[in-house]
Amino acid sequence: MRLSATPARAALSLALIAALAGCKPGADTTAAPGPAKAEPAREIASEQGQARLTVIARGLSHPWAVAPLPEGGFLVTERGGSLRRIGADGQVSAPLAGVPAVSARGQGGLLDVALAPDFGQSRRIYLSYAEPDGQGLSGTAAAYATLGEAGLSEVTVFYRQEPKVDTENHYGSRFAFDGQGHVFISQGERTLRPLAQALDKLQGKLVRLDLDGGVPEDNPFVGQAGARPEIWSYGHRNSQGLAFDPRTGRLWESEHGPRGGDEVNLPQPGKNYGWPIVTHGINYSGQPIPEAVGKEQERMQPAHYVFEVSPGLSGMAFYTGRPGKPWNDSLFLGALAQRQLIRLQLEGDRVVGEERLLQDFGERIRDVRAGADGNLYLVTDEDDGKLLRLEPPQG
C-alpha cells in the first residue's frame, strides 16, 4: 500500500479550474441527454396506498446524487465527473464548467452534491468526489463553489482525506448540515479495514467541520495526541447515507456493509462504531472478516438497525412534517444490490416497520431526497441513469 499526505485545505484558482475541466478522467462532455419522452407515470403499490413514479430525465451516466433547487429543477452529479442542471421539464444541461478533476476509477468519481444552508442568498453548493494526486493515489475530497448559470466559480477545496491511498473503492460520501454552522462528511475506509480504527487517519471516519472547512473547537478529538481533530466518529466501513432527522435534530448514517450487515447508526461524538472488529457480516468471498470478533464488543457502539441480508445501502432521506399522510415519519434508503427503495417507519428513533418499494423497477437506487413539494426524488446508478419523481400515496 502506498500512502501520500496532502495539505488539508487549498483553493483552486479559476484558471486552474478551466484547465482541469478539459482533462477530467471519465468526464462526459458530449451533448446533453434529452428529457424523458412523455413516459406515463407508473402506479407503485405501497402498504399505505398507491404511489406514482415518473421518469423526469433519462440518459444520465451513472448519476450519484440529486439536489432539488428551490427555484425548480435539480442538480445531478454523474460519477464520471459531470455536474448537470436538469429542468422541471426534464431538460438536461451540458456539463457545468468549473467542476474539480476527479478520479473516475472503480467506485470513485464525482459523488455528492448539496446546497449550502444559505443557498438562496449565497448560491453556494458543496461537492464531494474522489480526488487524484497525479501519481495513482486518491482520496475523498470536498469543495464548495458558487453556482452560476453555466458553471461554478470561486471553487475552494476545503477538505481532503489524508493520507491518499492506492485503492479505488469505498469513498463514501455524503454531506449533512446541522443548522449550527457545521457540515458533516461521511467517508469509507477505502477497503483498508484497519484504517477505520486508526485515529491518525481519516479513512472510515465521519468528520465535522465549519462551513468553510475550519475545525470546530468542540470536536471530540481536538487536542488529543495521535488523533485527527476533524473526526466526529470512527469505525465506519462505507457511509453512503447521511441525514439529520428534522423532528429531533439527530444525525443518522447508513452504512454499506460487507456480505450481510448493512446498518443504520446514530453517530455520537467520539464514539467507535466497530468496523472491522464488530460486524454482522462476512467477506464477499464467504470467508470471515479477519479482524472481526463478533456482533458486539465492549466500548464499541452497536448498530441502531441492521439488515442481516445486505440491500447495498446508499443515499437516505427523511420524510416528516406531514401529519396524517401515509408515509409521514419515514426514513427512505436507496438499495443498490437489491435494486429497491426501502421505507423504514419510525416512532421517535425506533424503527417499527419496513417496506420495500420499486422492486419491479429493477434499477440501482443511488440517491433519494425529499422535495419541498412533498415528493421524493431519486437517481438510478445505471448506464442509462434516470432522475425519478415518486409521489407518495395521498391517503
Task: Say how far apart CA 297 and CA 295 lie, in whole Å.
Answer: 7
Q: Point out the catalytic residue in the list 170, 182, 236, 280.
A: 170
> C-alpha cell of 330?
419515514
166 burial via Cβ count (<10 Å: 0-12, 13-18, 19+): middle
Let me know: does 382 contact 364? Beta carbons within 8 Å.
yes
Task: Say how far apart CA 169 and CA 238 lie, in whole Å.
Answer: 9
> C-alpha cell of 16?
486552474
> C-alpha cell of 252?
443518522
Task: Say how far apart CA 243 and CA 302 lie, in whole Å.
Answer: 19
Reduce the secondary structure of 211-239 to three states and give it as a string: CCCCCCCCCCCCCCCCCCCCEEEECCCEE
What region, left, alpha or beta, does residue 190 occupy, with left being phi > 0 and alpha being psi -120 to 50 degrees? left
User: DSSP string covering 37-56, please?
Assistant: -SPPPEEEEETTEEEEEEEE
Task: Say how far apart CA 103 and CA 132 lie, in whole Å.
Answer: 5
Give me the helices (H) in the chain, please: 14-21, 119-122
Cα-Cα-Cα-Cα torsion 188, 191, 195, 201, nearest 10 degrees, comes to -50
**DSSP SS3 for 277:** coil
Has 280 been annotated as catalytic?
A: no
**DSSP SS3 for 373:** coil
The residues assigned a catalytic role are: 170
